[in-house]
A = this chain, B = another copy of it.
């Protein structure tokens, strides 16, 4: 099996929800990069649990310990970096009995079908949302490496249940306005915990989540992400394009069930005359797209306009209500009530995870041998 993605910048994730520790090994980081551990801690904090009523009360320090790949001066050494996060706050008793009664919406069932009884179910095992913590380590480091190239990555909650935030200008079907996007990115940077562009939307979303929580239920959402500053020419045709690499990696985030670039599914209902982004000669005399319906990617390769995509996050599988399941041991149906601590909506905490995965992929593409830009 492969819990690995990336070629030039490669991340291997390990750990189960209730194993001794979780973590990642990162290969391909250039040597001599100063790791800003405080910036990384701030980034990690956005994903951390226990921040509000929409989030699981399980608290974990989630401070990664770099056991290799960094020298005494805090510089990367060019060799594999291993980051370890201890699992200190596990309450496995919450998961008693779950090893033979699969929870609906979880991977307990498929893990049992694949690996049998040896699969470590507790808390979702290797499928747990907790595994997104090491993803944020790998992505947080990638974000720092990308900064030197002038590349910024930001995501926000586009919707929760039926409540919608305003979209990034870059995702619009009309002409792309860099000034408006800059303003939006600044606004997003101000609200690191519950990331939206509109304050009203944030409030309404929190009410939507609270309402689900009161119903012992959960709700889904959509995360929109933008990567700005990529030069044209990054990515490859066919199967290693930006879309392909992002897609493979983003579907590795638990609960992601959909992905679209630029106009996405709306493109299916459009005509070419509206969808095609025209070119105009730029200040340097080279053609450049004047709109961004394509979401910054043509033929898998960056156009120089912001890369824009949206990710659909399903409602949290763990809900407080009784559900119908069946028992591997008795061979008969049985009701199931899932205990433990769970977010009624996972989408808010998925925002930095989407940024992290996007950063890993963009850095990977940027470092790829086929990329001329260094």
Would you mind naming 15 contact pairs between A and B with Cβ atoms under 8 Å apart? A14-B81, A15-B67, A16-B68, A19-B69, A109-B232, A110-B300, A110-B302, A217-B271, A219-B270, A243-B251, A254-B299, A267-B315, A268-B313, A272-B314, A286-B326
Interface contact A299-B238, CB-CB below 8 Å? no
What is the CB-to-nearest-CB distance from A31 to chain B, in angstroms, rounded to a whole number? 3
B257 touches A258 (CB 8 A): no
Nearest chain B residue, comparing its CB with the CB of A370? B1
Q: A104-B277, A104-B278, A217-B272 are in contact. List 11 more A-B contacts (CB 8 A).
A: A4-B12, A12-B12, A12-B25, A20-B68, A32-B115, A77-B115, A101-B287, A110-B232, A114-B370, A247-B251, A286-B328
Q: Give A351-374 as 1s and 0s: 1 = Cβ < 8 Å from B's Cβ atoms.
A: 000000000000000011110101
- The contact string, 1 if C-beta is below 8 Å from chain B, for chain A 263-287, is 1110111111101111111100111
The answer to whether the Cβ of A123 comes within 8 Å of any Cβ in the partner chain is: no
Map CB proximity to B onto A27-61 as digits: 1 under 8 Å, 0 otherwise. 11001100000000000000000000000000000
6 closest Cβ pairs, A-B complex: A107-B299, A285-B331, A258-B260, A31-B115, A110-B301, A247-B247
- Chain B nearest CB from A158 CB (Å) reads 9
Chain B positions within 8 Å of A78 at CB level: 1, 111, 114-115, 118-119, 370
Copies in the complex: 4
Q: Which of A124-132, A144-152, A165-173, A191-199 contacts B (4 or more CB under 8 A)?
A: A124-132
